[in-house]
Protein backbone atom coordinates (compact mmCIF):
# COMPACT_ATOMS: atom_id res chain seq x y z
CA UNK A 1 0.00 0.00 0.00
CA UNK A 2 1.29 3.46 -0.90
CA UNK A 3 1.54 5.82 2.08
CA UNK A 4 1.21 9.49 1.14
CA UNK A 5 2.04 11.73 4.07
CA UNK A 6 2.48 15.33 5.03
CA UNK A 7 4.72 16.52 7.83
CA UNK A 8 5.65 20.08 8.78
CA UNK A 9 7.76 19.63 11.89
CA UNK A 10 8.77 15.97 11.43
CA UNK A 11 6.37 13.99 13.65
CA UNK A 12 4.40 12.32 10.87
CA UNK A 13 7.66 11.64 8.99
CA UNK A 14 9.00 9.87 12.11
CA UNK A 15 5.80 7.83 12.40
CA UNK A 16 6.08 6.78 8.75
CA UNK A 17 9.71 5.72 9.30
CA UNK A 18 8.46 3.17 11.85
CA UNK A 19 6.04 1.55 9.41
CA UNK A 20 6.86 -1.59 7.44
CA UNK A 21 5.53 -0.02 4.21
CA UNK A 22 8.37 1.17 2.03
CA UNK A 23 6.20 2.56 -0.74
CA UNK A 24 5.93 6.18 0.42
CA UNK A 25 5.33 9.62 -0.99
CA UNK A 26 5.88 12.81 0.98
CA UNK A 27 3.29 15.45 0.12
CA UNK A 28 5.17 18.73 -0.23
CA UNK A 29 3.06 21.05 -2.36
CA UNK A 30 -0.10 19.03 -2.90
CA UNK A 31 0.49 18.95 -6.66
CA UNK A 32 1.83 15.38 -6.45
CA UNK A 33 -0.28 12.84 -8.35
CA UNK A 34 -0.66 9.14 -7.66
CA UNK A 35 -1.97 6.33 -9.84
CA UNK A 36 -2.54 3.63 -7.24
CA UNK A 37 -4.55 3.20 -4.03
CA UNK A 38 -3.02 5.13 -1.16
CA UNK A 39 -3.54 6.04 2.48
CA UNK A 40 -2.98 9.66 3.49
CA UNK A 41 -1.41 10.49 6.84
CA UNK A 42 -1.65 14.14 7.81
CA UNK A 43 -0.79 16.42 10.70
CA UNK A 44 -3.43 18.80 12.09
CA UNK A 45 -3.06 22.55 11.78
CA UNK A 46 -4.93 25.74 12.69
CA UNK A 47 -7.85 24.81 14.91
CA UNK A 48 -8.48 21.22 13.87
CA UNK A 49 -7.78 21.92 10.20
CA UNK A 50 -6.42 19.96 7.26
CA UNK A 51 -3.16 21.50 5.95
CA UNK A 52 -3.46 23.33 2.62
CA UNK A 53 -1.10 21.00 0.74
CA UNK A 54 -3.09 17.98 1.93
CA UNK A 55 -6.37 19.55 0.80
CA UNK A 56 -4.85 20.11 -2.63
CA UNK A 57 -3.45 16.56 -2.77
CA UNK A 58 -6.86 15.17 -1.80
CA UNK A 59 -8.61 17.28 -4.45
CA UNK A 60 -6.33 15.93 -7.18
CA UNK A 61 -6.15 12.32 -6.04
CA UNK A 62 -9.47 11.63 -4.38
CA UNK A 63 -10.20 8.62 -6.58
CA UNK A 64 -7.12 6.83 -5.23
CA UNK A 65 -7.37 7.61 -1.51
CA UNK A 66 -8.74 4.61 0.38
CA UNK A 67 -8.18 5.73 3.98
CA UNK A 68 -6.73 8.46 6.15
CA UNK A 69 -4.90 8.78 9.47
CA UNK A 70 -3.89 11.85 11.42
CA UNK A 71 -1.44 13.16 13.96
CA UNK A 72 -2.16 15.81 16.56
CA UNK A 73 -1.50 16.85 20.10
CA UNK A 74 -3.95 16.13 22.95
CA UNK A 75 -3.37 19.66 24.28
CA UNK A 76 -5.77 20.72 21.52
CA UNK A 77 -8.66 19.02 23.31
CA UNK A 78 -11.68 18.48 21.06
CA UNK A 79 -9.58 19.42 18.03
CA UNK A 80 -7.15 16.57 18.71
CA UNK A 81 -5.96 15.16 15.35
CA UNK A 82 -9.18 16.49 13.83
CA UNK A 83 -7.67 16.87 10.36
CA UNK A 84 -8.25 13.14 9.96
CA UNK A 85 -11.93 13.41 10.86
CA UNK A 86 -12.47 16.31 8.45
CA UNK A 87 -10.59 14.64 5.60
CA UNK A 88 -12.26 11.26 6.00
CA UNK A 89 -15.70 12.93 5.96
CA UNK A 90 -14.80 15.00 2.91
CA UNK A 91 -13.57 11.96 1.00
CA UNK A 92 -16.00 9.39 2.37
CA UNK A 93 -13.20 6.99 3.32
CA UNK A 94 -12.39 5.42 6.70
CA UNK A 95 -10.36 7.25 9.33
CA UNK A 96 -8.11 4.38 10.27
CA UNK A 97 -6.17 5.92 13.17
CA UNK A 98 -5.43 9.11 15.11
CA UNK A 99 -2.20 9.37 17.06
CA UNK A 100 -0.22 11.83 19.14
CA UNK A 101 2.88 13.47 17.67
CA UNK A 102 5.11 10.74 16.14
CA UNK A 103 3.02 7.92 17.65
CA UNK A 104 4.00 5.01 19.88
CA UNK A 105 4.53 1.33 19.10
CA UNK A 106 0.84 0.64 19.78
CA UNK A 107 -0.05 3.26 17.16
CA UNK A 108 2.20 1.59 14.60
CA UNK A 109 0.58 -1.78 15.36
CA UNK A 110 -2.95 -0.40 15.12
CA UNK A 111 -2.18 1.37 11.84
CA UNK A 112 -0.63 -1.75 10.27
CA UNK A 113 -3.62 -3.84 11.38
CA UNK A 114 -6.08 -1.37 9.87
CA UNK A 115 -4.17 -1.26 6.57
CA UNK A 116 -4.34 -5.07 6.42
CA UNK A 117 -8.07 -4.87 7.06
CA UNK A 118 -8.54 -2.35 4.25
CA UNK A 119 -6.47 -4.42 1.84
CA UNK A 120 -8.42 -7.56 2.70
CA UNK A 121 -11.76 -5.84 2.19
CA UNK A 122 -10.54 -4.38 -1.11
CA UNK A 123 -9.68 -7.93 -2.20
CA UNK A 124 -12.88 -9.26 -0.58
CA UNK A 125 -10.96 -11.78 1.48
CA UNK A 126 -12.48 -13.47 4.53
CA UNK A 127 -11.36 -11.90 7.83
CA UNK A 128 -9.37 -15.06 8.59
CA UNK A 129 -7.01 -14.00 5.80
CA UNK A 130 -5.92 -11.01 7.93
CA UNK A 131 -3.52 -13.33 9.71
CA UNK A 132 -1.79 -14.04 6.41
CA UNK A 133 1.13 -12.07 5.05
CA UNK A 134 0.70 -10.17 1.79
CA UNK A 135 2.07 -12.97 -0.44
CA UNK A 136 -0.32 -15.44 1.18
CA UNK A 137 -3.17 -12.95 0.79
CA UNK A 138 -2.52 -12.81 -2.93
CA UNK A 139 -2.77 -16.59 -3.14
CA UNK A 140 -6.03 -16.46 -1.14
CA UNK A 141 -7.30 -13.73 -3.43
CA UNK A 142 -6.60 -15.81 -6.53
CA UNK A 143 -8.41 -18.70 -4.87
CA UNK A 144 -11.63 -16.71 -4.28
CA UNK A 145 -11.61 -14.72 -7.51
C1 LIG B 1 -0.04 26.13 14.33
C2 LIG B 1 -0.34 24.73 14.82
C3 LIG B 1 -1.64 24.36 14.96
C4 LIG B 1 -1.96 23.05 15.46
N5 LIG B 1 -3.29 22.68 15.61
C6 LIG B 1 -3.58 21.46 16.09
C7 LIG B 1 -4.94 21.07 16.30
O8 LIG B 1 -5.89 21.78 16.03
N9 LIG B 1 -5.17 19.81 16.77
C10 LIG B 1 -4.15 18.96 17.09
O11 LIG B 1 -4.43 17.85 17.53
N12 LIG B 1 -2.86 19.31 16.92
C13 LIG B 1 -2.55 20.53 16.42
N14 LIG B 1 -1.23 20.89 16.24
C15 LIG B 1 -0.20 19.92 16.58
C16 LIG B 1 0.33 19.14 15.37
O17 LIG B 1 -0.71 18.61 14.58
C18 LIG B 1 1.19 17.98 15.88
O19 LIG B 1 2.30 18.51 16.58
C20 LIG B 1 1.65 17.07 14.78
O21 LIG B 1 2.29 15.94 15.34
C22 LIG B 1 2.62 17.78 13.83
O23 LIG B 1 3.03 16.88 12.84
P24 LIG B 1 4.35 17.19 11.98
O25 LIG B 1 5.50 17.31 12.98
O26 LIG B 1 4.52 15.98 11.11
O27 LIG B 1 4.14 18.46 11.24
C28 LIG B 1 -0.92 22.17 15.78
C29 LIG B 1 0.42 22.57 15.62
C30 LIG B 1 0.72 23.84 15.16
C31 LIG B 1 2.16 24.26 15.02
Render pLDDT for 89-124 as a digit per residue (tens, 0 to 9): 999 999 999 999 999 999 999 999 999 999 888 776
Q: Is the whole model's pTM more than 0.75, yes or no?
A: yes
62 assigned to some structural domain: yes
Query: CA-CA distance, 115 to 119, in Å (whole number)?
Result: 6
Q: Which of 40, 52, 73 to mutate to test the pocket of ligand 1 (most atoms within 8 A of CB)?
A: 73
Q: pLDDT for 6-62, tens place per residue?
A: 999 999 999 999 999 999 999 999 999 999 999 999 999 999 999 999 999 999 999
Which residues have C-beta atoms less than 6 Å from ligand 1?
7-13, 43-48, 71-73, 76, 79-82, 101
Distance 62 CA to ligand 1 centre (A): 23
Atom index in ligand 1 nearest the CA of residue 12 equals 26
133 assigned to some structural domain: no
19 assigned to some structural domain: yes
User: Domain tally for the chain?
Assistant: 1
Helix (H) or strand (E) holding 142: helix 134-144
Q: Which range of residues forms the domain containing residue 86? A: 2-105
Domain with 88 in it: what CATH number?
A: 3.40.50.360
37 assigned to some structural domain: yes
116 assigned to some structural domain: no
32 assigned to some structural domain: yes
68 assigned to some structural domain: yes
Query: CA-CA distance, 82 to 17, in Å (whole number)?
Result: 22
127 assigned to some structural domain: no
Q: Is 29 exposed, middle or buried (0-12, 13-18, 19+ CB in 10 A)?
A: exposed
Amino acid sequence: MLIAYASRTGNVARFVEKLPFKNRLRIQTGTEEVRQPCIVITYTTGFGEVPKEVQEFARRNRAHIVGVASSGNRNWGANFAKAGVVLSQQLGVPLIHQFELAGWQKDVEKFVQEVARLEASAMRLPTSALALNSAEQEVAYLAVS
